Amino acid sequence: MGLRYVTSGIGAGKEKTVVGVPDAATTDPFPTYLFTQAQKSLTFTATAEDPNRGVKSVKLTGELTVWCMSPRRSVYSTETRSAQTFPLSNENSAATASPSRTVSLAATFKSYTEETRCAPGLLPYRIDLALTAQATDGNNNVLKTPLRRYVFVQSFKVATFNIRNGKNMANQDSADMLAMYLEPDHRVDIVLFQETSEDTVSRLLMQPWLRELSRYRALSGNNDLAIFSRFPIAQNVVVPFSQPLRDYVHRWHYVVMDMGGFNPRIANLHLIATSVAEERDLNEFTYRRQEMDEVMLVMRPPGPPSIIAGDFNAPVYKDDPPYTYIRAEWDSLYFQPPYKHFCMVAGCEVTPELLPRYNLDQIWLGMSTPGFAIVDAYTAFDEPIYEPTFLSDHRMQVVRVHIKE
């Protein structure tokens, strides 16, 4: 007996065909992600064929799980998620076997702004459809397809983190701690790393927790920058800076994401540090401003929706209270295009450690339609900074967004 189902609605060149096999898998660690209005309605059509014994039944069975998440804006807050599950099924069966049978099942998803099933205080996160097809032949033999998941992404997290080449503040290997920090603790979807050599990337790839988050990845090729993503990366573009930097291949990179016809750019930067400028007798302010100006020559609108993030090695605001004047290095980022630092939009908690100048590590989002809307944002918290067990001398910055079409 042969069994398969095909999808309709994911998009041209992206439709799936899933075939029945003995001992079919019952889990799917790498789901198909859906993002856009055009992908909100899927149809699954299953066909079973057996010209000798015939087919008594073919059915599609699934569970649609609606995931909601609490807002997270504090460096100390934890994350709450809730799930509601709804069964879906359709069957074509009869007492008498026929050479073939076909059945279809439709599933409809809701976008972030359309979702109404989250409890008060919770916000839309994911809709996860787990689906299998099953057929029974004339001799009552059963064949199933492997379970496959189709996940509509209502909101997702982008993070930036300078990880000190995978060494914590006691200079111990922290790859396993980083993996747990990124995945079960914070569930980030796209992470931009700085100070991440190819050896560090290799160590991270060995961590089971990062199996899905590292499925798609892009490197800058200078033993510094890397991007991990659970969503498909269509292109990695490495851009050299025009100004030389002694003993360092100075460059930045951006990726073009493949989000169901929505193709934003996400740029990963590591700008010059004060210590590096002093060692090379450079004016750090002039040099850093030139770096940002060159980035904006590429990332300035018009163009695809964009996120610019990384270790900027300088805070958002000038040094003097009341911390309301943007540093001159960021003029081309702040004044000319419609980019906003996530704290300016979502608000960020201010503590004695986190002054209202905000962090050296920054995430800026292009304010455009189509583009992104910020759901929430926070500075991640682990151990008190500079304690030996802390992962880095930087705090991971996280922003959760939803797509505006």
Which residues of the chain carry a pLDDT beneath 50? Answer: 356
Pick the CATH number of 2-153 from 3.30.870, 2.40.50, 2.60.120, 2.70.50: 2.70.50
| pLDDT tens track for 189-207 | 999 999 999 999 999 999 9
Structure tokens of 399?
A: 């922003």
Per-residue model confidence (pLDDT) at position 43: 98
Per-residue model confidence (pLDDT) at position 395: 86
Per-residue model confidence (pLDDT) at position 123: 96
Domain positions in the chain? 2-153, 156-404
Per-residue model confidence (pLDDT) at position 82: 95
Ordered strands of the 265-270 beta sheet: 233-240, 251-257, 265-270, 306-311, 361-366, 339-341
Identify which of 260, 233, 245 has the alpha carbon closest to the alpha carbon of residue 7: 260
| pLDDT tens track for 306-336 | 999 999 999 888 877 767 788 999 999 998 7
Per-residue model confidence (pLDDT) at position 203: 97
Domains 2-153 and 156-404 share a fold: no
- Counts of helices then strands in the chain (DSSP H, E): 6, 22
Domain 156-404 belongs in CATH node 3.30.70.20: no
Per-residue model confidence (pLDDT) at position 262: 93
Strands (DSSP E) contained in 283-325 are 306-311
Per-residue model confidence (pLDDT) at position 356: 45
Per-residue model confidence (pLDDT) at position 235: 98
